[in-house]
Amino acid sequence: MKTLAGQPEILVVDDELHLRNSLSALLRIHGYSVSTADGGESAMEALQNSPFDLVLLDLGMPGVDGHQVMEWIKAQQLDTCVIVVSGDTSIDSAISALRRGASDFLRKPYETDELILKIENALSKRRLEKENKAINLQLRESERWYRYMVNSSPDIIYTLDANGCFTFCNDRVESLLGYHKETVIGKHFSTFIHAEDLETAQHVMQERRAGGRAAGSVEIRVPHGTESRLLTLEFNSFGIYDETGSETPPSYIGTYGVAKDVTERKKAAQLISYQAYHDLLTGLANRMLFKDHLELAIAQARRYSHMLALMFLDLDRFKVVNDTLGHAIGDNLLIEVAARLKNCLRVGDTLARQGGDEFTLLLPQIDSQEDAIRVADKIIKSFGAPFHIDGHELYVSMSIGIALYPGNGGNIDTLIKNADIAMYDSKAKGRNRYQLYASDMNVTFAERLSLEIQLRKALERNEFQVVYQPQINVISGRISGMETLVRWASPLLGYLSPQEFIPLAEETGLIIPIGEFVLRSAFNQARLWKHAGLLPQRIAINISAQHLEQEGFVAFIAQLLQEFELEGSMFEMELTESVLLNDGDHIIEKLQMIAGMGIKIALDDFGTGYSSLSYLKKFPIDTIKIDQSFMRGFPGDSGNESIVTAICAMAQGMQLNLIAEGVEETEQYRSLHTLHCNEAQGFLFSKPLSGRDITELLMKDAPLGPQHLRPQHCFNL
Ligand code: C2E
Ligand code: CA
Ligand code: CA
């Protein structure tokens, strides 16, 4: 490689051999590396093959002459310098060679010193040129980089003079804010700042401190130049000082700043904080925001000695809407409910959704409890009109509990708790009403709460059991069927009867998993008995209205039959009259499907409700069960006796199976026989027993009840 730094490479081109040789020898002595060419053609060949720093070119040569070689070098843009040598005395050829780009001209014959001097000059000129070019290139490159970096910065970069007018800004101001750079330069910063943020802007825009002490990260709103939007920019700036002068201290020139677009980040932060404080479905305040407002309101009420009211509102039977019509309609209903509630309020009141179908309302300043009652009244009345949701006309009501400050509590937690207690009280008193908190409500609420918590846990912990109570054939005394009854063995509360927890289970929806548990247990027991060849004629299971109404109930039963490989005819479902009153067509279809599987249907607690005979015809009912309350004072109590007599006669007329419940005395048994009631159930025959105890009874296959008192003629049967 021939480089400028090493030995300069020289090509000597001459057609005269002795000249070539003497020149080469001379140049080598002076430390140059020399190659030779004997004519234009071989010169071009040599130049093509390797670079030379300098060409010593004879102009007058036969064939391709020096001029043509010059022409060729120019055309090829070869990076080399040329000194032409000529015996020609006319100045013309020298000028034309120089014009073609030769660095110098030497006339033959020449002095050695002259030659060496010209070569040295040409080479050092060439070296300088090369260095200059490299420096220029570097400068252009770094300037380009600097410009590129400043202009393609995602942030606005600017400088202001000491008066606060722009002296520089990068291209970003155009793409971000829609201003041409030229229109910004020279303008005062206040031209661009949102009016409300001007004061904040003063500090950061006229920052005199430099370095780490300067103001950092100040958010300022800036209107867009051409569009009607407001951007939020985060400014960082510091003072610039002229340190070139000799003055001490250095003089303040202006500020240098960077503005970052944080509009999206700001929006996201706002959204997050909105979500943290609002219920997304209804747009109402959430629990957190409500507490904030309540805390503030209590502080105000304390300072200015006024009252405030807190209401706890709960939709009645919202669960039914959700379960029967689906969550989408349930959600829409909640949105409408929120809107209707808002209509009942004044500005300053806070309405919040606590979750589910529970709302809280804060009236931050009232004069008397009547003010709160008036609002509660208004709300209850406003729910008198139906809601129209997706083609459904829905009537919903609210139960409201009210707690007042300072009378019913002096802090957030007590007020919320007491309003909640009052709400439960209004539910207990029949729903669709409001109730002011009273101190004696506390006990019942605490009981309820602990029961509810325990009930939820009971399912996971397997605390439920089922027992079976035999139903006997009045004539033979033998078991004709049994009723499945659920029990709750709570380690905390003891052995609980269904009456103590079924109402709460229904209210909380836990009746569904409990009902499923009972069904599974009964089916499982039926399979055990079937395999042991002990099957009673019929296993009755109590079905709660809510469970029956649930979508998929029929499918669930069908699946159970298949899973346990049992026939429907082994089972009976006990329903209460209220089920049949609810929604005729819907239920009738379900009952027909159940009857279609061979499952019998019994009407439980007959005589206590409407006891309308019309639905006995309308629904596929096989059995009616005379409510046990009619056994009290029977026989003897004339009222009960006539009712039982009438029911027995009716059942016979309609050819329905009839079971008398709660039979405890021999006299009752005897009378039922006389009235031709065909089945009976009660402590006289057996208490509800575990599956294992029932298995023993079934194996004995003996008549139950007082043998010696069995009606005489029965013994012959
Ligand atoms: P029910 O369907 O009327 O059940 C009969 C109730 O009377 C049972 O009470 C039974 O133990 C009781 N009993 C039986 N013979 C006599 C008697 O000679 N004298 C008296 N005084 N009582 C007698 P239990 O087991 O406490 O059930 C109470 C109610 O709870 C049931 O009334 C039924 O409505 C409901 N229930 C029980 N098990 C279930 C269940 O698995 N699912 C549903 N949904 N409800 C159930
Ligand atoms: Ca029953
Ligand atoms: Ca009953």
The answer to whether residues 309 and 403 touch, using CB atoms and an 8 Å cutoff, is yes
Neighbours of 637 (CB within 10 A): 14
Cβ of 518 less than 6 Å from ligand 1: yes
Cβ of 627 less than 6 Å from ligand 1: no
The count of C-alpha atoms lying within 13 angstroms of the C-alpha of 509, restricted to the half-sphere facing its C-beta, is 9
Cβ of 500 less than 6 Å from ligand 1: no
- The amino acid present at 73, given as its one-letter code, is I
The answer to whether residues 376 and 319 touch, using CB atoms and an 8 Å cutoff, is no
What spacing in Å lies between the alpha carbon of 336 and ligand 1's midpoint? 41
DSSP string, 19-73: HHHHHHHHHHHTT-EEEEESSHHHHHHHHHHS--SEEEEES--SSS-HHHHHHHH
Mean pLDDT value of segment 479-504: 90
538: confidence class by pLDDT, cuts 50, 70, 90? very high
Under DSSP, the state recorded for 705 is S
From CA 298, how far away is CA 307, in angstroms rounded?
9
Mean pLDDT value of segment 42-52: 94
Question: Which carries the bigger pLDDT value, residue 685 or residue 461?
Answer: 685
On whether the 282-452 domain is CATH 3.30.70.270, my answer is yes
Mean pLDDT value of segment 660-666: 96
Instruction: Using the predicted structure, report yes or no on whether residue 717 has a pLDDT greater than 80.
Output: no
Cβ of 604 less than 6 Å from ligand 1: yes
Mean pLDDT value of segment 106-114: 85
Neighbours of 196 (CB within 10 A): 9
What spacing in Å lies between the alpha carbon of 590 and ligand 1's midpoint? 24
Instruction: Using the predicted structure, report yes or no on whether residue 62 has a pLDDT greater than 60.
Output: yes
Q: What pLDDT is recorded for position 215?
A: 64
Instruction: Using the predicted structure, report yes or no on whether residue 2 has a pLDDT greater than 50.
Output: no
**Residues with CB in 5 Å of ion ligand 2:** 542, 574, 604
From CA 326, how far away is CA 462, in angstroms rounded?
29
Q: What pLDDT is recorded for position 643?
A: 86
**SS3 category, 397:** coil
Q: What pLDDT is recorded for position 160?
A: 94
Cβ of 274 less than 6 Å from ligand 1: no
Q: What pLDDT is recorded for position 520?
A: 97
Stretch among 88-92, 354-358, 668-672, 700-704 having the lowest mean pLDDT: 88-92
Mean pLDDT value of segment 353-358: 89
Tokens of 187: 């303008």
Count the helices and strands in the chain (H runs, E runs). Answer: 25, 26
Kindly identify the ligand whose nearest atom is closest to the C-alpha of 518. 1
Cβ of 605 less than 6 Å from ligand 1: yes
Reported as a single tens digit per residue, the pLDDT across 6-37 is: 789 999 999 999 989 999 999 999 999 999 99
Q: What pLDDT is recorded for position 3?
A: 45
Tokens of 319: 């669960």
Reported as a single tens digit per residue, the pLDDT across 546-564 is: 899 888 999 999 999 999 9
The answer to whether residues 105 and 84 touch, using CB atoms and an 8 Å cutoff, is yes
Give the chain's radius of gyration (CA, Å). Answer: 52
Which residue minimizes the CA distance to atom 3 of ligand 1? 605
Reported as a single tens digit per residue, the pLDDT across 244-269 is: 766 677 888 899 999 999 999 888 88
Q: Where are the alpha helices (DSSP H) in 569-611?
A: 577-582, 584-596
Q: What is the SS3 assignment for 99-114?
A: HCCCCEEEECCCCHHH
Mutate to test the pocket of ligand 1, among 471, 519, 542, 663 (most ligand atoms within 8 A of CB): 542
229: confidence class by pLDDT, cuts 50, 70, 90? very high
Q: What pLDDT is recorded for position 1?
A: 39
- Please state whether 431 falls in left (phi above 0), alpha (psi between -120 and 50) or beta: left
Q: What pLDDT is recorded for position 324?
A: 79
Q: Where does 511-714 sit in CATH, by number? A: 3.20.20.450
Question: Which carries the bigger pLDDT value, residue 609 or residue 64?
Answer: 64
What spacing in Å lies between the alpha carbon of 500 and ligand 1's midpoint? 11
What spacing in Å lies between the alpha carbon of 483 and ligand 2's midpoint? 7
Instruction: Using the predicted structure, report yes or no on whether residue 203 has a pLDDT greater than 90.
Output: no
Instruction: For residue 250, say if its preceding peptide bond is cis, omega within 30 degrees of 0.
Output: no
611: confidence class by pLDDT, cuts 50, 70, 90? low
Cβ of 73 less than 6 Å from ligand 1: no
What spacing in Å lies between the alpha carbon of 499 and ligand 1's midpoint? 8
Instruction: Using the predicted structure, report yes or no on whether residue 629 has a pLDDT greater than 60.
Output: yes
Q: What pLDDT is recorded for position 4?
A: 44
Q: What pLDDT is recorded for position 677?
A: 95
What spacing in Å lies between the alpha carbon of 135 and ligand 1's midpoint? 104
Which residue minimizes the CA distance to atom 27 of ligand 1? 498
The answer to whether residues 203 and 239 touch, using CB atoms and an 8 Å cutoff, is no
Instruction: Using the predicted structure, report yes or no on whether residue 570 has a pLDDT greater than 60.
Output: yes
Mean pLDDT value of segment 636-640: 83
Mean pLDDT value of segment 389-414: 91
Stretch among 222-226, 360-364, 495-499 having the lowest mean pLDDT: 495-499
From CA 662, how far away is CA 627, in angstroms rounded?
8
Instruction: Using the predicted structure, report yes or no on whether residue 443 has a pLDDT greater than 80.
Output: no
Instruction: Using the predicted structure, report yes or no on whether residue 710 has a pLDDT greater than 80.
Output: no
Q: What proportion of the chain, given as a percentage, has pLDDT over 70? A: 94
Under DSSP, the state recorded for 93 is H
Cβ of 662 less than 6 Å from ligand 1: yes
From CA 116, how far away is CA 224, in angstroms rounded?
71
Separation in Å, CA 435 to CA 115, 158, 396, 664 = 121, 66, 18, 42
Kindly identify the ligand whose nearest atom is closest to the C-alpha of 627. 3
Q: What pLDDT is recorded for position 593?
A: 96
Mean pLDDT value of segment 280-292: 92
- Please state whether 636 falls in left (phi above 0), alpha (psi between -120 and 50) or beta: left
Cβ of 502 less than 6 Å from ligand 1: yes
The domain locations on the chain are 9-133, 153-268, 282-452, 511-714
Kindly identify the ligand whose nearest atom is closest to the C-alpha of 573. 2
From CA 283, how far away is CA 292, in angstroms rounded?
17
What spacing in Å lies between the alpha carbon of 580 and ligand 2's midpoint? 15
Q: Identical fold at 153-268 and 282-452?
A: no
Tokens of 548: 């029956």
Q: In terms of CATH architecture, what is 153-268?
A: 2-Layer Sandwich (3.30)
715: confidence class by pLDDT, cuts 50, 70, 90? very low
Instruction: Using the predicted structure, report yes or no on whether residue 476 has a pLDDT greater than 90.
Output: yes
What spacing in Å lies between the alpha carbon of 625 and ligand 3's midpoint? 6
The answer to whether residues 12 and 20 touch, using CB atoms and an 8 Å cutoff, is yes
Helix 66-76 and helix 40-49, axial crossing angle in degrees, nearest 10:
30
Which residue minimizes the CA distance to atom 33 of ligand 1? 542
Instruction: Using the predicted structure, report yes or no on whether residue 430 has a pLDDT greater than 90.
Output: no
**Rounded to an integer, what is the distance from CA 143 to the centroid of its chain?**
49
Instruction: Using the predicted structure, report yes or no on whether residue 88 has a pLDDT greater than 80.
Output: no
Mean pLDDT value of segment 566-593: 86
Instruction: Using the predicted structure, report yes or no on whether residue 531 has a pLDDT greater than 80.
Output: yes
Q: What pLDDT is recorded for position 601?
A: 96
Mean pLDDT value of segment 491-502: 85
Q: What pLDDT is recorded for position 273?
A: 81
What spacing in Å lies between the alpha carbon of 596 and ligand 2's midpoint? 22
The count of C-alpha atoms lying within 13 angstroms of the C-alpha of 347, restricted to the half-sphere facing its C-beta, is 0
Mutate to test the pocket of ligand 1, among 544, 628, 667 (most ligand atoms within 8 A of CB): 628
Cβ of 705 less than 6 Å from ligand 1: no
Cβ of 522 less than 6 Å from ligand 1: no
Q: What proportion of the chain, given as a percentage, has pLDDT over 90? A: 59
What spacing in Å lies between the alpha carbon of 484 and ligand 1's midpoint? 9
Which residue minimizes the CA distance to atom 22 of ligand 1? 662
Which residue minimizes the CA distance to atom 38 of ligand 1? 485
What spacing in Å lies between the alpha carbon of 458 and ligand 1's midpoint? 20
Which residue minimizes the CA distance to atom 13 of ligand 1? 662
Mean pLDDT value of segment 57-78: 91
Separation in Å, CA 611 to CA 30, 189, 606 = 136, 86, 7
Average pLDDT, the chain: 89
Task: Label residue 638 exposed, middle or buried (CB < 10 Å: 0-12, 13-18, 19+).
Answer: exposed
Q: What pLDDT is recorded for position 71?
A: 92
Closest CA to 168 of 251, 230, 258: 258
Q: Which long-range contacts link 331-335 to residues 24+ away (Cβ below 8 Å)?
A: 331/281, 332/389, 332/390, 333/387, 333/389, 333/394, 333/396, 334/281, 334/282, 335/281, 335/282
716: confidence class by pLDDT, cuts 50, 70, 90? very low
On whether the 9-133 domain is CATH 3.40.50.300, my answer is no
The answer to whether residues 321 and 333 touch, using CB atoms and an 8 Å cutoff, is yes
**Rounded to an integer, what is the distance from CA 601 to the centroid of its chain?**
46
Q: Which atom of ligand 1 is nearest to the CA of 541?
A: 41
Cβ of 176 less than 6 Å from ligand 1: no
Stretch among 64-73, 79-88, 174-183, 228-237 having the lowest mean pLDDT: 79-88
Stretch among 108-112, 113-117, 227-231, 622-626 having the lowest mean pLDDT: 108-112
196 Cβ neighbours under 8 A, 6+ residues apart:
221
